[in-house]
Amino acid sequence: MWTAALLAVLLSAPALPHAPDTGTGESIYRSGIGSSGVAITGSRDSSAAVAGADAACANCHRRSGLGQLEGRISIPPISGPYLFHPRAKEGDDLDLPFVESMRPDREPYTEASLAQTIRSGVGPDGRVLSYLMPRYAIGDEDMASLIEYLKGMTPSSVPGVTASVLHFATIITPDADPVRRRATLSVLEQYFTDKNAFARAASERLRSSHRMMFKANRHWMLHVWELSGAPDTWEQQLQLDLRREPVLAVISGAGGSNWSPVHRFCEHASLPCLFPNVELPVVDDRDFYSMYFSRGVLLEADLIAHQLSADREGRSAAQRVVELYRHGDVGAAAAAQLAAAFPDDAYTVLRRPVDGNPGRAGVAAALRDVRPQDIVVLWLRPSDLTELARVPVRARTVYMSALMGGLERTTLPQAWRPVTRMAYPFDLPAGRRIRMDYPLGWFSMRGIAVVDEQVQADTYLACGLLAETLSHMSDSFIRDYLLERLEGMLEHRVITGYYPHLSLAPGQRFASKGGYLVSFDGGQGPGIRAASEWITP
Amino acid sequence: MRGLVPLMLLPCALAMAAPPSPSASEHLTEVALSGAVTSSRFTVTTMDYTVPEVQLVRDDGRRVSLPRELDDGRAVVLNFIFTSCSSICPLSSQTLAQFQRDLGAERDQVHLVSISIDPEQDTPARLREYAKKFGAGRGWQHYTGSLEASLAAQRAFDADRGAKMSHSPVILLRGADDRHWRRIDGFITPDELLGEYRKLPARH
């Protein structure tokens, strides 16, 4: 049995993160680049050839090597065990992680027949491979490297997975807001408790097949990794945590102004990091292991830039944009991103750091020379926004960050509200009301105090997405495959909390792409209304 | 799920696109099981689609009406893509690119239309980059828009599979003055596509 073998491995050796081969085989597989940096080429009948990145195996068979179902097109797993296993009538008969697109009932490849098939597109049994699969021109040496890589692809042990328990971690940075930290942990801990209560109740009856057994029986265990000290020590702390407590993935978590060390750690450790509660995620197209609900304050900056660009059309005189932020807070990066959107003379963007402790007139000082025709952008926290009550409203147009300012519960003084539009990277309260019945009902029934509704809703959503994805994975708990399945599953999700819809794809790591600009209702309550359509900048 | 099982057990060569009707589906499975290979790469059916008034955003950033883009006096070759797609879409786009080159002097009489099924990710700038990568010539435009608009366009051509990652290869052809569409499900080579194009009625 796969699990028995797995258990044996786990007991006999310390579980370490799967360290991928960095050799030629991996480079061919992932990037289509062979030895000495030469692009691999392939062709399909009369179509033009594909080369390099466009010819990489991972494009279709995925980084995990476990293939995929794309509509009704079934792309088989091609990691070694799936190619070389003895013929079997059904996938369940093999000691291999089950994947839908596997083809158990086929004569095993040999290294020679596999090489021949990759080159000719004809299998050893005479069957012609799909038109989708290019016929590759790969030399003997590169072919040997590639096959060697395929053989080692599916890890024989998966850290954090035992016969009865799936281990997960959540990461809290020391600069995380205490309320957000509490909000995150309250939901996570309850979710894991609930999950395990259900697993126990259902265990025996569902032992009907290979697949069902693992779905029903594994308990979830949460490890809370609380970081301390300076950010440049976090990655080392996390490496120790992971060695001590091997986990399959990192789920949710709470960050402050600097999440980058955690993001980098997950990338280096090949560890999925799923939907942490952070306002400033790391945006890097090359990265694979971290998924976020949105680009956070960077998305807010783009929403504002989008509006400023639209307003700009047809106007001649350059306007000033005065951005207020605090050094060391996430607003600094957002302010920089907004400024970078106008490299030409369309707007003159002035970035003004607010000095001193909140309440010490720093905000007033930063706004001293603002004129009516200027645009003010507030990347400020509630404590600074409160101070605006003592500052006259001179600008006719003000933008603010919802994430930093507290969404519709912001402390922005009444006098400022008529001229202010808030970048709002969520669905409107009325739009999400029905979707939010689920988490709010769940919080209420379990006695979880709602201290930060959005953070708690996101945490609950992250847990739900993890559970749903794992249920699609049968017993194939492989880290890369977890991310790939999430990519495919997310769009089908109907209950998406604060977001109108979520969607990912290969290379996409931010599930919600847009937001609104909202204005405040006239009344005293927390009412907001859309001041734009849904914008996906 | 159940419906997928027979297909999953077939050799790769026979993995087919979602066929347009249940009867066609049975036929395809039969063909597949009988071992016919190259001829089962694609099916062609004649369909009568009504294109609704859908507002899309063209890759040059302009808002346009889909029916007006399609009824501009040229023949139409249409497909659905998304720029993050690494498997089926690049092949489909490559086929269209080669087809467009092979049209030669006739190129300006055919409008190639590629509509994103991931419109929130696929901004006009991303689409331009994608078009450039495939060497799209004049007469080949890519379109995005709101999620709802993209869905409406997909539904109009029975190409909505519930999620972008569940899509299947479909190319649609229509002659300049024709009402009927030729729907190609599956994998077609540029040569074969050119052949199908030449079969269209009322070609100028």
Contacts of A134 (CB under 8 A, 6+ apart): A42, A43, A44, A49, A50, A55, A121
User: For a pLDDT cut of 70, what percent of chain A falls above it?
Assistant: 90
pLDDT for residue A7? 42
Q: Which of residues 111-140 of A touch B (CB under 8 A)?
A: 123, 125, 127-133
pLDDT digits (tens, 9 = 90+) for B72-116: 999 999 999 999 999 999 999 999 999 999 999 999 999 999 999
The pLDDT of residue B201: 81
> Binning pLDDT at 50, 70 and 90, where does residue A144 land?
very high
pLDDT in tens, A222-251: 999 999 999 999 999 999 999 999 999 999
CB contact under 8 A, A491 and B190: no
| Predicted pLDDT of residue A524 | 64
Q: Mark yes or no for CB contact A127/B13 under 8 Å.
A: yes
What are the structural domains, with CATH classification, of chain A?
4-151 (1.10.760.10), 165-293+431-499 (3.40.50.2300), 298-424+517-530 (3.40.50.2300)
Would you say residue A94 has pLDDT above 80? no
Using alpha carbons, select from A351, A213, A224, A328 the residue that is nearest to residue A280: A328
For residue B88, the chain A residues in CB contact (below 8 A) are 70-71, 73, 132
- Given a cut of 60, is residue A455 above it in pLDDT? yes
Supply A290's token pair.
Answer: 């971290």
Chain centroid to CA A41: how far? 32
Whether residue A518 contacts residue A428, with contact meaning beta carbons closer than 8 Å, is answered with yes
Nearest CA in chain B to A507: B84
State how far the Cα of B41 lies from the Cα of A441, in Å rounded to an integer. 50
Sign for the CA dihedral angle at A367, A373, A375, A380 comes to positive
- Give residue A417's pLDDT: 96
* A368 SS3 class: coil
Q: A59–B163: do the CB atoms touch at under 8 Å?
A: no
Q: Which residue of A has its CA nearest to B145?
A: A536
Full DSSP string of A279-294 = SS----TT--SEEBS-
How far, in Å, are A143, A217, A244, A369, A439 from residue A225 at the CA level?
42, 25, 11, 46, 25
For residue B202, the model assigns a pLDDT of 60
Sheet containing A290-291: give its strands across.
A219-226, A165-172, A249-251, A273-274, A290-291
Q: Which of residues 68-87 of B touch A (CB under 8 A)?
A: 82, 84-87
The size of chain B, in residues, is 204
**CB-based contacts of A67, cutoff 8 Å, min separation 6:** A60, A61, A74, A75, A76, A77, A78, A99, A101, A102
From A108-117, A292-301, A515-524, B82-91, the region with the lowest mean pLDDT: A515-524
**Which pLDDT band, with edges at 50, 70 and 90, does A356 fall under?**
confident
Q: Which of B5, B87, B170 to mutate to test the interface with A (most CBs of A within 10 A)?
A: B87
Mean pLDDT of B115-125: 96
- pLDDT for residue A217: 67
**Angstrom distance (rounded) from CA A466 to CA B45:** 41
- Of A46, A125, A491, nearest to B189 by CB-CB distance is A46
More confident residue, A397 or A201: A397
Q: What's the pLDDT tens digit per position in B27-44?
A: 333 333 333 333 478 999
Closest Cα partner for A173 from A226, A251, A119?
A226
CB contact under 8 Å between B13 and A131, yes or no, is yes
Neighbours of B84 (CB within 10 A): 20
Q: Which residue has the higher pLDDT, A199 or A299?
A: A299
3-state secondary structure A221-251: EEEEEECCCCHHHHHHHHHHHHHHCCCCEEE
**What residues form DSSP beta bridges with B181?**
B47
CB contact under 8 A, A128 and B84: no
Find how far residue B198's CA is from the centre of its chain: 17
By the 8 A CB rule, do A325 and A335 touch? yes
CA-closest candidate to residue A130, choices B8, B65, B163, B49: B8
- Sort residue A152 into left (φ over 0), alpha (ψ -120 to 50) or beta: alpha
Q: Which of A47, A100, A129 sits opposite B13 (nearest CB)?
A: A129
For B7, which of A45, A72, A506 is closest by C-beta distance?
A72
Parallel, antiparallel or unpaired: strands A73-75 and A420-424: unpaired
Its pTM stands at 0.89
Interface of A with B in 47-76 (CB under 8 A): 47-48, 50, 54, 58-60, 68-76
* A468/B contact by beta carbon, under 8 A: no
Q: Which of A115-129, B11-25, B43-57 bottoms out in mean pLDDT, i.e. has the lowest?
A: B11-25
- Give buried/exposed letters for A7-39 (b at 16+ CB in 10 A, else e): beebeeeebebbebeeebbbbbbbbbbbeeeeb
In this structure, the number of other CB atoms found within 10 A of the CB of residue B195 comes to 11
Q: What is the CA radius of gyration of chain B?
A: 17
What is the pLDDT averaged over residues A404-430? Answer: 96
For residues A334 and A298, the answer to whether their CB atoms sit within 8 Å is yes
Q: How far is B204 from chain A (nearest CA, A)?
A: 26
How many whole angstroms separate alpha carbon A79 and alpha carbon A170?
30
